[in-house]
Amino acid sequence: MACEHRTSDAPFPQRPIPFFLRYVRRWPGHFGGLLALVIGAAACAVAVQYGMKLLVDAMAAPERDAAIVWGPLTLFVVLIGVENLLWRLGGWLGCRTVVGVGVDIRLDLFQHLTGHSMRYFSEHFSGSLGNRITATAGASGALISTFTWNILPPITDFIGAVLVLTTVDWRMAAALVVFVTVVASAIALIGVRGRPLHRSYADKASYVAGELVDVVSNVWAVQAFSARRRERDRLAAKFASEAAAQRRSWLYLEKTRVVHDLCLWVMAGGMLVWAVSLWVSGRISPGDVVMVSALTFRILHGSRDLAFALVGTTQHFGQIAETLRVIGQPHAVADRPGAQSLIGLGGAIDFEGVGFAYADGRQVFRTLSLHIPAGQRIGIVGPSGAGKSTLVSLLQRLDDVQEGRVLVDGQCISAIDQESLRSAIATVPQEISLFHRSILENIRYGRPDATDEEVRAAARAAYCDDFIRELPQGYDTLVGERGVKLSGGQRQRIGIARAFLKDAPILILDEATSALDTESEIEIQRALKDLMHGRTVLAVAHRLSTLSGFDRIVVLIDGRIVEDGHPAELRRRGGTFDALWRLQAEGFSMDEALDRGLRAAE
């Protein structure tokens, strides 16, 4: 009976606007306060122009009476002070909002990214993914800043100007509304048509950043194969493609700005001529002319910022959309709603009628069944591509089975919370992943709440305490990116120490001693013997001698179990395992031994 597969992950927004609005809802006080402050400041700026009109009219009166001037002057000065205060408060609140939202966005994207399956990461540059997260946080911050300082104030200015101009001549206010509406619609339409160019640039920029990180992370190969010039030329071609996309995006913006400038030149000239004509006919005061002039130029500059901002936001939205397309896609492996934690923790494992195929259609398992009692040590043997690594990946739920089910202690793992499942499994892979942190932190990664003494005890159990103490800073020594400051054997022993510290009921060993010399391997085999005691162990191995003390051996070929039993029993049968054992003793590799063993069996 197959387990039901349903997702419990909260739907991650797939479009930029819903994505952005989730953070507006999360920070309502900040965004609401920022909105009020900016609108208030912009309204004061419009009111300042009206205050200037009152002051000019008072000064233009036939009688030179100071009393009628001081009132408008006081209002003018107070409005300027209030405007500046509101802008500064808006700047303070805007800083807290942009920085806080940027942190939330990066954390949310990271959280979603790390929930993808391992197959996802094999298909994308890690550097590109990291750059997308940073760039999206930057684009979102730019959107907040753009809306706050370049979009909202001009809109407020426009509404205020319409209201104020109504007091001068309603036709002038109506003309302003019509003109700005036409220009804004034209600019918006042009901006939308340019979105594919901006999206193309964002895509190429992320890809090229990933290429650069890939080359830097493999600098050893670049130097070892005298490839500096070759890689430079290769990157030059990539950079040229990115630069071409950037130029197309940039020049499209410049064309938009030319159209906008021409329209506003016509608007400003027309409004000023109109105002002066009304003054000549005696229908408005000198203060009205000054106010119309000031408002016209304010709207002129504000609308320029608004147009540039509206077009610029298409770039930011394009960047966010590209990130959501790549990182925000639904998880291939997701917890179902109300997923429970694993209970029991005895370590019994069952594969029942498991079928699994990769996305490219390559079938790995068909109705595979395997029962592993709690506490049993089982070796998984077979040639490359037989399905050994896939088997342990399915147990860790790095991929989901398409048919059948996998159970731990009788519980279907697709119904179990992934974090709970993996906390019950300790893994020592062939390639140990170390962070550029201290050795103490890397070992403690197996159990974050472990004390320093518990970390050192795990290191002693893994026979790495001696070499750690010989390092310049001992346990505080930084291991370098991916552990480059340590030898392969040292990294392997750090990984084993981490598994000791985790103390999980299920242990997966994937060629755990492959990077060790003979002397170190003997020490580690002793350590692993202690580590395996009382635990369910799945060990993937090519060197069959490392499995001689195991309870059981499973031989996999083409996703099928061809032999299953105790090592001594399989040797007595004289089948595939026995042939592999004898041929490996003669120095043949697993694949060579398998080929000869199958021919001998025929």
Residue from 51, 100, 93 nearest 76 by CA = 51
Contact assessment for residue 297 and residue 268, using Cβ atoms and an 8 Å cutoff: yes
Q: What are phi and psi of 509, to 5 degrees?
A: -115, 115
Q: What is the pLDDT of residue 151?
A: 85
Q: Does residue 6 register a pLDDT over 60?
A: no
Q: What is the pLDDT of residue 571?
A: 84
Contact assessment for residue 437 and residue 485, using Cβ atoms and an 8 Å cutoff: no
**Tokens read off for 286:** 């000198």
Q: Cα–Cα distance between 370 and 565 in angstroms, integer? A: 12
Residue from 127, 133, 98, 132 nearest 23 by CA = 98
Give tens-digit pLDDT for 238-285. 888 888 888 888 888 777 778 777 877 787 778 778 877 887 887 777
Residue from 404, 492, 499, 378 nearest 445 by CA = 499
pLDDT-based confidence at residue 370 (cuts at 50, 70, 90): very high
Q: What is the pLDDT of residue 371?
A: 93
Region 175-186: what's the mean pLDDT? 77
Give tens-digit pLDDT for 156-170. 888 888 888 788 778
372 bridge partner residues: 349
List, edge to edge, every strand of the sheet that includes 403-408.
363-372, 349-357, 403-408, 411-412
Q: What is the pLDDT of residue 7?
A: 35
Q: Does residue 334 register a pLDDT over 60?
A: yes
Contact assessment for residue 444 and residue 507, using Cβ atoms and an 8 Å cutoff: no
Hey, is 554 helix, strand or coil? Answer: strand
Give tens-digit pLDDT for 545-599. 778 788 999 988 888 888 888 888 888 888 778 877 777 666 555 555 555 555 5
Q: Does residue 508 register a pLDDT over 60?
A: yes
What is the average pLDDT value for the chain, to the nearest integer? 81
Q: What is the pLDDT of residue 406?
A: 92
* DSSP category for residue 478: B
Residue recorded with tokens 């043997």: 381
b/e code 169-199 from CB counts within 10 Å (16+ = b) = beebbebbeebbeebbeebeebbeebbebbb
Amino acid at 368: L
pTM: 0.71
Contact assessment for residue 244 and residue 285, using Cβ atoms and an 8 Å cutoff: no
Contact assessment for residue 8 and residue 334, using Cβ atoms and an 8 Å cutoff: yes
Q: Name the more confident of 599 and 325.
A: 325
Q: What is the pLDDT of residue 587?
A: 57
Domains for the chain: give ranges and CATH numbers.
16-326 (1.20.1560.10), 339-424+505-571 (3.40.50.300), 430-503 (3.40.50.300)
Q: What is the pLDDT of residue 128?
A: 73
Give tens-digit pLDDT for 471-505. 888 888 888 766 667 777 788 888 888 888 888 88
Mark out the alpha helices in 462-540 (DSSP H runs): 465-469, 488-502, 518-532
Hey, is 367 helix, strand or coil? Answer: strand
Q: Name the more confident of 380 and 131.
A: 380
Give tens-digit pLDDT for 56-68. 777 776 666 666 7
Q: Does residue 36 register a pLDDT over 90?
A: yes
Give tens-digit pLDDT for 346-357. 889 999 999 998
**Tokens read off for 580:** 């592999």
* DSSP category for residue 339: P
Q: What is the pLDDT of residue 56?
A: 76
Contact assessment for residue 365 and residue 36, using Cβ atoms and an 8 Å cutoff: no
pLDDT-based confidence at residue 602 (cuts at 50, 70, 90): very low
Q: Does residue 402 register a pLDDT over 90?
A: no
pLDDT-based confidence at residue 601 (cuts at 50, 70, 90): very low
Question: Which are the contacts of 433, defined by CB distance < 8 A and separation ≥ 6?
Answer: 482
Q: What is the pLDDT of residue 4?
A: 44
pLDDT-based confidence at residue 93 (cuts at 50, 70, 90): very high
Q: Does residue 294 register a pLDDT over 80?
A: no
Q: Cα–Cα distance between 26 and 22 in angstroms, integer? A: 6
Q: What is the pLDDT of residue 517?
A: 61
**Tokens read off for 599:** 């021919």
pLDDT-based confidence at residue 89 (cuts at 50, 70, 90): very high
Geometric angle at alpha carbon 110, from 107 and 111, rounded to 5°:
85
Region 379-389: what's the mean pLDDT? 84
Question: Which are the contacts of 407, defined by CB distance < 8 A and separation ≥ 6?
Answer: 348, 349, 350, 352, 413
Question: Which are the contacts of 475, defined by CB distance < 8 A and separation ≥ 6?
Answer: 438, 439, 440, 452, 455, 456, 459, 468, 469
